[in-house]
Amino acid sequence: MNVLVWLKRDLRTHDHPALTLAAGLGPVLPVFVVEPSLWSLPDASARQWDFVAESLADLREAMAALGLPLIVRVGEAVEVLDRLCRQHHIARIVSHEETGNLASYARDRAVAAWARQAGIPWAEVPQSGVTRRLPNRDGWASRRDGFMSQPFLPLPALRAVSGVEPGQIPTARALKLPPDPCPHRQLGGRTRALELLDSFLTRRGEPYRTAMSSPLTAERACSRLSPHLAWGTLSLREGVQTTTIRQAERPGGRWGGALSSFQSRLAWRDHFMQKLEDQPSIELRDLHPLAVTRPRDSDPARLTAWCNGETGLPFLDACLRYLRATGWLNFRMRAMVTSVASYHLWLDWRVTGQHLARMFTDYEPGIHWPQVQMQSGTTGINIPRIYNPVKQGLDQDPTGAFTRRWLPELAPVPDAFLHEPWKWPEARRLLGHRYPEPIIDIATAARAARDAVWTARRAPGFAPTAAQIVQRHASRADARFVNDRTPRRRASSAQLTLDL
C-alpha cells in the first residue's frame, strides 16, 4: 500500500522514525505542506521560512539520491492531504508527533478528524524524549534518557510512489510574509547542521561552559544547532549520542565540563518541550493565575522602544539589535531581554513573546513559551530573576565592544559611561537626539516589579496552586533540572515547601 509521510519539523532522512516505519509498509510519498494559515500567525516570520526553504532544498537533494521525490504543496493541511491521498491511492499516513503552538495543535486535531472520517489510518511516532499524554512526571527523565540511548535508525530501503509532481519551494514573498531583513542569519539544511556539530565538538566547544553567557563569546562557543534541532535537520538523538562519543574521548578537563554542560542543555530542551505538550495553554495564559498582583500591559511606546532596541538602556538595546540582525541570541541574553520587558517595562509577555518568536530563527514553541513565562515570573515555581541591564552590560561586555558595534551612535561616550550614558557630564549632547534617554528608571521599576511578584507569592492561595504546578511540570529530583524540580518535604510535617 502507498504510504504518505507527512514531514513537519523533521527535515532529514537519517534517524527518522517516521520514514523507517513507512518504509516497511509500502511505497513512500514524502510530503511537506506549506500552510498559509500558520505562516500568517504573529509568531512566524520570513527569516524562519527562509531557513526552512533552504532546509527543504537540501532535503530534496538528499532524497533524490535515495530515489525519492520530496513533494512540496502550498495549502491547508486537510485539503492538501485529502487531495494527495485521493490522487495517489494513499492507504496510510505516517508522521512524527509535534509539540507546536496552539494553531498547529488545532491543525493536528482537524487532520485526525478528517483521517478518521476518510478511513485512512494516521500513525504518529515520537522523535524526541517528549511523551504524549503523560499522566505525570514520575519516571519521565529515565524514559527520555532511554529513548536517547537507543541506536540511530539507519537509512531504510525506500520505494517511491511514482508519477507525482514535486512542486516548487515557495519564497517568503510568494507566501506574502512581511519583509524581514536578517543579514547575518544562519543558513538551513542538514549539511550545515553536521558541519556545526563537528566544529563544536572538535574545535569551538572547549570554552562553552564559561563563554556561553556573553554575546561576545557565545556566538562562536555555543553549538549554534538550535535552528537545526527546531526544524529537525538533525535529530536530538544524533546530537546526544555524538556528544557522548566525544565525551568518552575527552572525559576530563575543560572539554569534559563543556560537553557535560551541553548534554544537560539538550536534556533541558525535552524537559521544557514536555511542559507545552502537557499544557498547550502555556502559550496564552499565566501558568500560575496568581503570579502578579497587577496585570501587565502593552503600552505602545514602551513596546516599540523595546522591539527596536531604543529603550535608552545600551546593553539591552545592543542585544535586541543584534537579535534583529542575526536571528539568534545566547540564552542569558534571551533571559535578560525578556526579564526587562516583563519586569522593568511591565509589558505583557504574550506580546513581547510573539516579537521574540518572530525574531528567533530557532523558534521552537515548546521551549519558547515555557521559557518566556519562566523569565517573566508567571510560573509560580521558579525563582523570579529581575536582570539589571546595566549590571549585565558591565559583566558580559566589560570592554564595551559588543555594545559599541550595535549602537554606533554612542561612539562619543567614554568607556566609563558607556553602559550608563545618562551619567556622562556631557550627556545632553547625545541623549534625546542621537540616542534616546532611558524610558524607565531601572531601580524604581525593578522595585515595583519585585513588590508585585513577591506580594503575590505571599498571598494565601498561592502556595497550593504552585504545588499543583510542581506536581504536573517539575522534574523529579534530577540534578540536571536543579532550578525546576519537585519540592522537598519538611522533616517535621507533610507540608510541601517550594524550592525557590
Predicted confidence (pLDDT) per residue in 352-370, tens digit: 999 999 999 999 999 999 9
Per-residue pLDDT band for 476 (boundaries 50, 70, 90) equals confident
273, three cell numbers: 518541550
Closest CA to 199 of 169, 170, 220, 168: 220
Averaged pLDDT for residues 193-219: 97
What is the per-residue pLDDT across 416-465, written as a single tens digit (0 to 9) for each? 999 999 999 999 999 999 999 999 999 999 999 999 999 999 999 999 99
pLDDT score recorded for residue 477: 64
Looking at residue 492, its pLDDT comes to 30
Q: Which domains does the chain have, with CATH numbers?
A: 2-127 (3.40.50.620), 190-278 (1.25.40.80), 300-489 (1.10.579.10)
487 has pLDDT over 90 = no
Q: Is the pTM higher than 0.85?
A: yes
* Under 8 Å between Cβ of 58 and 191: yes
CB atoms within 10 A of CB 24: 9
- Of the candidates 386, 377, 393, 228, the one whose C-alpha atom is nearest the C-alpha of residue 314 is 393
What's the whole-number average pLDDT of the chain?
94
Q: Point out which residues pair with 4 in neighbouring strands.
A: 29, 93
Q: How far is CA 247 from CA 11, 226, 260, in A?
A: 27, 20, 8
Burial of 254 (0-12, 13-18, 19+ CB in 10 A): middle
pLDDT exceeds cutoff 50 at 335: yes
Tell me the C-alpha distance between 201 and 214, whole Å: 20
Average pLDDT of span 214-227: 97
Find all residues with CB under 8 Å of 78, minimum gap 6, and list them: 110, 111, 114
The pLDDT of residue 500 is above 90: no
- Predicted confidence (pLDDT) at residue 257 exceeds the cutoff of 70: yes
Amino acid at the residue 466: A
Residue 478 confidence class, pLDDT cut points 50, 70, 90:
confident
What is the per-residue pLDDT for 344?
A: 98
Q: Which tens digit of pLDDT belongs to each residue from 260-304?
A: 999 999 999 999 999 999 999 999 999 999 999 889 998 999 999
Question: Which pLDDT tens digit goes with each residue over 308-325?
Answer: 999 999 999 999 999 999
In this predicted structure, what is the pLDDT of residue 482?
Answer: 61
Judge residue 437's burial from the number of C-beta atoms within 10 Å of its C-beta, 0-12 exposed, 13-18 middle, 19 or more buried.
middle
- Which of 136-140, 225-229, 387-391 bottoms out in mean pLDDT, i.e. has the lowest? 136-140
pLDDT band per the 50, 70, 90 thresholds, residue 209: very high
Q: What pLDDT, on a 0 to 100 scale, did the predictor assign at position 314?
A: 98
Task: Tell me the average pLDDT across 1-7.
Answer: 97
Please state, in angstroms and rounded to a whole number, the distance separating the CA atoms of residues 391 and 241. Answer: 38
Residue 423 burial (CB < 10 Å; 0-12/13-18/19+)?
exposed
Strand partners, 92: 3
Measured over the CA atoms of residue 53, residue 6, residue 65 and residue 234, the dihedral's sign is: positive
Percent of the chain with pLDDT over 90: 92
Name the residue with higher pLDDT: 400 or 493.
Answer: 400
pLDDT at 479: 74
pLDDT of residue 303: 98
In the sheet with 90-96, reading across from the earlier edge strand, the strands are 71-74, 28-34, 2-7, 90-96, 122-125
What does the H/E/C string look like for 4-46?
EEEECCCCCCCCCHHHHHHHCCCCEEEEEEECHHHHCCCCCCH
446, 388 contact by CB (below 8 A): yes
> What band does 64 get if pLDDT is binned at 50, 70 and 90?
very high
Task: Report d(CA 165, CA 206) in Å as an integer.
Answer: 47
Q: Are 475 and 141 in contact (CB under 8 A)?
A: yes
Mean pLDDT to the nearest integer, 45-74: 97
Is the pLDDT at 490 greater than 70, yes or no?
no
Percent of the chain with pLDDT over 70: 96
| Residue type for position 345 | L
The pLDDT value given to residue 486? 41
- Whether the pLDDT of residue 493 is over 90: the answer is no
Amino acid code (one letter) for 38:
L
Kindly tell me if the per-residue pLDDT of 485 is higher than 60: no
Whether the CB-CB separation of 166 and 71 falls below 8 Å is answered with: yes
